[in-house]
């Protein structure tokens, strides 16, 4: 008798669940055990937003009951572990094109261990394709791009900040790599370039000229933005 009652109860519950789920599509499965796990309440960066609730137009702020969201970080903030923003603008007309860049010091210590291996990998991916593995101008696509500079021939006369300016904004035929490489990675690549430079002979002295504001300087594309 007890088994019969148990069987009847299970059958009844199963029938109720079956009837409750009938007629629903796969996008509407019915009751959800943990809805907060099934449906995220967070705003996803690349998700389509309901235009009746969200707006990315600053002009509508304070006028409508919309939630403003433009997928960008809050101004004046930076993510945990990120380095300070690069202060040099695209063009520093007040005191020469690279005055602020030349005064910017590399915040990264010399590369060691795994960092050296990782930076070499990044250099070969983003730089070596044009400049070659030894930072010359003999990368596999250098002849197709044209105007590829020999980095190690010119980098000794460039400050670290100047090199960072070039990688951030681009120069000549070279575009900006600010979107492909984080600030830390850009500074690490500059450290790596220093390891490829020819070392001066023992007992000799070499002066590094960091002022490059003469007519030989090629201005970067003004449409690129810093990061």
Domain boundaries, the chain: 33-72, 83-227
> Residue 118 has what pLDDT?
93
Weakest mean pLDDT among 55-64, 97-106, 109-118, 180-189: 55-64
HEC assignment per residue over 32-69 = CCCHHHHCCCCCCCCCCCCCCCEECCHHHCCCCCCEEC
> Residue 124 has what pLDDT?
92
Strand partners, 48: none
Domain 83-227 in CATH 3.40.630.10: no
Q: 134-137 contacts: CB < 8 A, separation 24 or more?
A: 134/196, 135/193, 135/196
pLDDT tens, residue by residue, 67-102:
777 777 777 777 777 777 777 777 765 556 678 888
> Residue 215 has what pLDDT?
34
On average, the pLDDT of the chain sits at 75
Q: Let me know: does 108 contact 191? Beta carbons within 8 Å.
A: yes
> Residue 42 has what pLDDT?
67
SS3 171: strand
Q: Let me know: does 161 contact 88? Beta carbons within 8 Å.
A: yes
Asked whether residue 43 carries a pLDDT value surpassing 90, the answer given is no
- Determine how β-strand 54-55 pairs with β-strand 67-68: parallel
Cα diameter, the chain: 103
Of all residues in the chain, the percent with pLDDT exceeding 90 is 14
Asked whether residue 25 carries a pLDDT value surpassing 80, the answer given is no
Please state the rounded mean pLDDT for residues 48-69: 77
Sign for the CA dihedral angle at 154, 192, 120, 89 comes to: negative
Neighbours of 176 (CB within 10 A): 21
How far is it, in rounded angstroms, from Cα 29 to Cα 20?
10
Q: How many residues does the chain have?
A: 227
The dihedrals phi and psi of 171, each to the nearest 5 degrees, come to -160, 135
Q: Looking at the chain, which runs of residues are DSSP E strands?
A: 54-55, 67-68
Higher pLDDT, 121 or 219: 121
How far is it, in rounded angstroms, from Cα 24 to Cα 30?
7
């Amino acid at each position: 008798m007890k088994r019969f009652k148990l069987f009847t109860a299970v059958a009844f519950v199963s029938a109720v669940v079956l009837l409750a789920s009938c007629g629903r599509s796969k996008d509407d499965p019915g009751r959800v055990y943990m809805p907060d796990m099934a449906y995220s309440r967070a705003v996803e960066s690349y998700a389509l937003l309901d235009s009746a609730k969200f707006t990315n137009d600053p002009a509508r702020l304070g006028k409508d009951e919309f939630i403003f969201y433009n997928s960008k970080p809050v101004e004046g903030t930076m993510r945990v572990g990120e380095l300070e923003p690069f202060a040099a603008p695209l063009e520093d007309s007040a005191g020469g094109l690279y005055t602020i860049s030349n005064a910017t010091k590399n915040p990264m210590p010399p590369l060691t261990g795994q960092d050296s291996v990782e930076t070499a990998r990044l250099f070969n991916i983003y730089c070596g394709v044009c400049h070659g593995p030894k930072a010359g101008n003999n990368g596999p696509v250098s002849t197709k791009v044209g105007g590829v500079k020999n980095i190690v021939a010119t980098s000794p006369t460039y400050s670290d900040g100047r090199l960072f300016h070039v990688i951030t904004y681009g120069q000549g035929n070279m575009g900006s790599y600010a979107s492909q490489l984080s600030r830390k990675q850009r500074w690490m690549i500059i450290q790596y370039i220093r390891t490829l430079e020819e070392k001066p002979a023992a007992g000799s002295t070499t002066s590094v000229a960091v002022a490059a504001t003469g007519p030989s300087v090629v201005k970067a594309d003004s449409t690129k933005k810093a990061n």
